A and B are shown apart, each in its own frame.
Chain A
Amino acid sequence: MSALKHTLTAESQDFLDNLRLYLFSSGKKDEEVKEIVEELEDHLIEAEKRGKSVSHIIGHSPKAYMEQLSNEMSFDFKWISYLPIIVLGVFAYILLGDSMRGGVQFTLLQVVGYPAVCIILVLFYLKMFKFLASTKLSKTKTIITTFILGSLPILFFLALLFANDAYKTPVVIKLGATGNIIAALVAIAIFLGISLWSKTWFTIVIPTMLFLPEFLISLTSFEKETKAILTISVLFVTLIIYNVYTFKKAKKESRI
């Protein structure tokens, strides 16, 4: 199969990659996505052998063509079950952070706000992936968009943090010393659980990546402010690196 892929022009290959990403972020069934991409790949190979261009096959608007295909394909409801798991993962992340700093305490605004922010972000990301797959952006615009997408979660959570200070809502959950230790263990258990469930390493790798530096920095004898600045900078940099890395990986993996 790989020998044949070489005969495809970059334009055709790009179209297939983008189609896969588009259908994937539209929540279409994996099996159906695979089938149609394979079928179109075969078609494009045959057509290119005879010197036809991509636009001869898909018309002049790749976006319109992707939409046409998407409209005929079924939505995979398995997708909806991912949302609670993502919310749970973020919850574990916040829980671990707070318990490490010794103060698990949630206000009503946070209890409602965190899941809401997660769901908004996930839906927004899916929309953006669809948009990026069906629109041709210049290199600069792609980099800017990736950067904005990468920093968006931080902005959202910071906004929630400020809102929480500005609007006093009642404290719903507050844990003591033992409670904090238990909370940390619960959070770690959730990370391990999601990792086992999804058969991926990232819910173990990311928390380690994020919390290990903070934990190590907290052991140093720097000033409180220096520690805070160090922690935030390390966090920001790792998040951007990770986002760029996963975005590239997602595009690359969609070729397999």
Chain B
Amino acid sequence: MSNTQMLKGILDGCLLAIINEGEVYGYELAEKLESYGFQQTSEGTIYPLLIRMQKEELVTTTLKKSTAGPRRKYYSLTRKGEEELQAFIERWNQLSRSVDHILQKRGSGK
């Protein structure tokens, strides 16, 4: 299984978590994601996800004038987005516990 396949779904949760830290715009979001170690994915992958999250009303956007030039789109979480983030955290904890469990068990079994 490739890394990108594994990332699907997880990336959504990570974006929600980063947006939850405070209003961000696209480029900033990509940089933060990278600084946390997501370096394999191309930066643009976040945009299709953001469009979908906006459609699902997990995030809202506001356009602000930037000092540099074109208007900038800032993302923040909606109520629904916060709930989805909580659900993701629970799912992730559950999943990572199970995966850890399996990997450790196999490791110690040898």
Report which A residues bind B (CB closer than 8 A).
1, 3-4, 32, 35-36, 38-43, 45-47, 52, 55-59, 65, 68-69, 71-74
Q: Cα distance A1–B68 when bound, in Å?
A: 9
Report which B residues bind A (CB closer than 8 A).
25-27, 30, 42-45, 47-48, 51-52, 55, 66, 68-73
Q: Cα distance A55–B42 when bound, in Å?
A: 8
Which of the residues A35, A52, A71 comes within 8 Å of B73, measured between beta carbons? A35
Chain A residues positioned under 8 Å from B55 (CB to CB): 72, 74
**Structural contact, A4 and B44, CB atoms closer than 8 A:** no
25 contacts between A and B (CB under 8 A): A4-B68, A32-B51, A36-B47, A38-B73, A39-B47, A39-B73, A40-B26, A40-B44, A42-B25, A42-B26, A42-B27, A42-B66, A42-B72, A42-B73, A43-B30, A43-B44, A55-B42, A57-B43, A57-B44, A58-B42, A59-B42, A68-B48, A72-B52, A72-B55, A74-B55
**Structural contact, B43 and A71, CB atoms closer than 8 A:** no
Min CB gap B59→A, angstroms: 13
Chain B residues positioned under 8 Å from A74 (CB to CB): 55
Chain A residues positioned under 8 Å from B72 (CB to CB): 42
The 5 closest A-B pairs by CB, nearest first: A4-B69, A59-B42, A72-B51, A46-B27, A68-B48
**Structural contact, A41 and B70, CB atoms closer than 8 A:** yes
Chain B residues positioned under 8 Å from A41 (CB to CB): 70
Chain A residues positioned under 8 Å from B47 (CB to CB): 36, 39-40, 43, 69
Min CB gap A38→B, angstroms: 6
Chain A residues positioned under 8 Å from B51 (CB to CB): 32, 36, 69, 72-73
Chain A residues positioned under 8 Å from B25 (CB to CB): 42
Chain A residues positioned under 8 Å from B44 (CB to CB): 40, 43, 57-59, 65
Chain A residues positioned under 8 Å from B27 (CB to CB): 42-43, 46-47
**Structural contact, A43 and B71, CB atoms closer than 8 A:** no
* Residue with the highest number of chain A CB atoms closer than 10 Å, among B26, B27, B30: B27
**Structural contact, A47 and B43, CB atoms closer than 8 A:** yes
Q: Cα distance A159–B62 when bound, in Å?
A: 54
Min CB gap B81→A, angstroms: 17
Nearest residue in B to A54 (C-beta to C-beta)?
A: B44
Q: Cα distance A40–B42 when bound, in Å?
A: 13
Q: Cα distance A40–B50 when bound, in Å?
A: 12
Q: Cα distance A69–B49 when bound, in Å?
A: 9
Min CB gap B91→A, angstroms: 22
Chain A residues positioned under 8 Å from B43 (CB to CB): 43, 47, 52, 56-57
**Structural contact, A71 and B48, CB atoms closer than 8 A:** yes
Q: Cα distance A58–B48 when bound, in Å?
A: 11
Chain B residues positioned under 8 Å from A73 (CB to CB): 51
Chain B residues positioned under 8 Å from A55 (CB to CB): 42
**Structural contact, B48 and A72, CB atoms closer than 8 A:** yes
